[in-house]
Chains A and B, each alone.
Chain A
Amino acid sequence: MSMRLAAQGCLAANDWICGEYLRSRGQELTDATVEHIWITVASVLIGLAVAFPLALFARAKPAFAGAVLGLTTLLYTIPSLAMFSLLLPVFGLSSALVVTGLVLYSLTILVRNILAGLEAVPAEAREAARGMGYGPGRLLWEVELPLALPAVMAGLRIATVSTVALTTVGALVGKGGLGNLIDDGVQTTFKAQVLTASVLCVVLAVVADLLLLAVQRLLTPWARPPRRQSSGKARRGDRIRTARGGPVEDATRRADAEMAEGVA
């Protein structure tokens, strides 16, 4: 009985951490989380579907590469609140508005990283494949994309993590997943709700990042660190591996550094 009183007390006292909140609003939290996840997943998948042709186009026509990169960077500069507002006349108060805005943001990172990954494919690998009679399609699919995969996945991880965070701003039009709960919590000064939803957002971002890392490991078995035998040998093996994976990893890292920014 006293436990129960104490538990209800934390809602009444508006504590930051409150078990009773989790119990009584579990459904609300689940619904918001599910909305958050599907908005993020839809945005990143559509972003990827748009970014690939754009990157291939930019690579095939270097004259347009500057324009494509410039345009996507320009989009990245626009504040998210302004982006969502500018889309309002087109989409109204809908989740399509939020997804479209998030797609536009993800393009910057994805196009850049896909392009960087493709450009870092060693010319010898390409030559060898051509010499073996690979056509352009097969060359792209079986040689270039696998070699570009680490850079592409790095971009995908950055895009996904920032999209999870940015989805909250969708609360502006009532479609922000956990952002809706944060918005509601601020207006009613409901501490437990704001803190719980915020923590869940960060957890979602971390989980998504780890999942994508696991996918990357599965897709690129050749890039896995070699099993260590003795420490001296393993270290030398590591160095050889980085040297071999040099250009791609280097490009990824630099692209990372350049994209070490988030839209707000």
Chain B
Amino acid sequence: MGVLADAWTWLTTGSNWDGESGAWHRLGEHVYVSGVALLLACAIALPIALWLGHLGKGGALAVNVSNAGRAIPVFAVLALFMLTPLRTAGYAPTIIALVLFAVPPLLTNAYVGMREVDRAVLEAARGMGMSGWQLFFRVELPLAYPLLMTGLRSAAVQVVATATIASMVGQGGLGRIITAGFNTYNTPQVVAGALLAAGLALLVEGALVVADRLCNPLRKPVASRRKESGRVTAAA
């Protein structure tokens, strides 16, 4: 418990938050690289996944990409980037690595979401004379929404987590508080940095869960929703 109290003292000491290596600056770096990377990853992955899902092609790609994403260590990719000329390009090595690891969950979930749309519903929509675009925007996209958001949440959590590892190769972010603590044998600082990083990740996850609830296009009366939630728990 002593360490936790010391970590709390570290967190409540104003001087630890100021300056180039202070917590505010590290937090800013962390949010900046995570945000940019997540936007880039969405811009790359979602059009591809939704288009492939709409056409019903490329399932193997969607699955293999996420398998590869799991097998490749984040730390190794960051380390390799730091030995290339990218090293001098500011936050670029971190951002590129983050994008690489955010794409698989986005791609796979969006694709599976599109493919799991009930065939009968699609047939009915086609029978009603909907064009491809109408089908996509008014049927497939709303029905794929839950898995799309699952993908976004996984990607966001992944990005925030990966950004901490960037500190192990000397890049910025909240992880730097942790590695700096390790270098100076300052355990309270290590724990304080870890609490900040974990707190940020949980905050992002929580915010996205709330956003998911608010934006869900299929918000329905309680009766039918209960049915749906039953389906989801059975699957999970």
Which residues of B are found within 8 Å of A264, using beta-carbon distances?
74, 101, 158, 161-162, 164-165
Binding site for A on B (CB under 8 A): 3-4, 66-67, 69-77, 79-80, 82-83, 101, 104-105, 108-109, 112, 147, 150-151, 154-155, 157-158, 160-162, 164-165, 167-170, 175, 178-179, 181-182, 187, 190-191, 193-195, 197-198, 201-202, 205, 234-236
Ranked nearest first, the 9 interchain pairs of A and B with the lowest CB-CB distance are A261-B154, A85-B194, A198-B76, A79-B161, A264-B162, A264-B161, A205-B71, A82-B194, A89-B3
Interchain CB contact under 8 A, A182 and B198: no
A-B residue pairs in contact (CB < 8 Å), sample of 21:
A77-B201, A78-B161, A79-B160, A79-B164, A79-B198, A80-B164, A82-B178, A85-B181, A85-B190, A86-B191, A86-B194, A88-B187, A169-B75, A194-B79, A194-B83, A205-B70, A205-B71, A260-B108, A261-B154, A262-B158, A264-B164
Known contacts A82-B178, A166-B73, A77 near B157 by CB under 8 Å: yes
Interchain CB contact under 8 A, A82 and B235: no
Given contacts A81-B178, A82-B198, 10 further A-B contacts (CB under 8 A): A78-B197, A80-B165, A89-B187, A116-B236, A168-B75, A198-B80, A201-B76, A261-B105, A262-B70, A264-B165
CA gap between A4 and B181 in the complex, in Å: 44
Interchain CB contact under 8 A, A69 and B101: no
A112 to B: closest C-beta gap in Å:
6
Which residues of B are found within 8 Å of A164, using beta-carbon distances?
71, 73
Cross-interface CB contact of B70 among A89, A161, A172, A194, cutoff 8 Å? A161
CA gap between A161 and B70 in the complex, in Å: 7
Closest to A259 in B: B154
Interface centre among B154, B168, B169, B195 (most CB of A within 10 A): B168
Which residues of B are found within 8 Å of A254, using beta-carbon distances?
112, 235-236
Known contacts A206-B71, A263-B161, A258 near B236 by CB under 8 Å: yes
CA gap between A206 and B181 in the complex, in Å: 35
Within 8 A of B (CB), among A140-185: 158, 161-162, 164-166, 168-169, 171-172, 176, 179, 182-183, 185
Which residues of B are found within 8 Å of A121, using beta-carbon distances?
none
Closest to B69 in A: A262
CA gap between A217 and B108 in the complex, in Å: 25
A246 to B: closest C-beta gap in Å:
13
B159 to A: closest C-beta gap in Å:
8
Tell whether A240 is near chain B: CB-to-CB under 8 Å: no
Known contacts A88-B187, A194-B79, A79 near B197 by CB under 8 Å: yes
Which residues of A are found within 8 Å of B164, using beta-carbon distances?
79-82, 264
Which residues of A are found within 8 Å of B160, using beta-carbon distances?
79
Tell whether A209 is near chain B: CB-to-CB under 8 Å: yes
Which residues of B are found within 8 Å of A195, using beta-carbon distances?
80
CA gap between A198 and B79 in the complex, in Å: 9
Interchain CB contact under 8 A, A85 and B236: no
B142 to A: closest C-beta gap in Å:
18
Closest to B107 in A: A260
Closest to A179 in B: B75
Which residues of B are found within 8 Å of A260, using beta-carbon distances?
66, 104-105, 108-109, 112, 151, 154
Which residues of B are found within 8 Å of A263, using beta-carbon distances?
158, 161
Tell whether A20 is near chain B: CB-to-CB under 8 Å: no
Tell whether A251 is near chain B: CB-to-CB under 8 Å: yes
Which residues of A are found within 8 Å of B165, using beta-carbon distances?
79-81, 169, 264
Tell whether A119 is near chain B: CB-to-CB under 8 Å: yes
Interchain CB contact under 8 A, B83 and A81: no
CA gap between A88 and B189 in the complex, in Å: 11
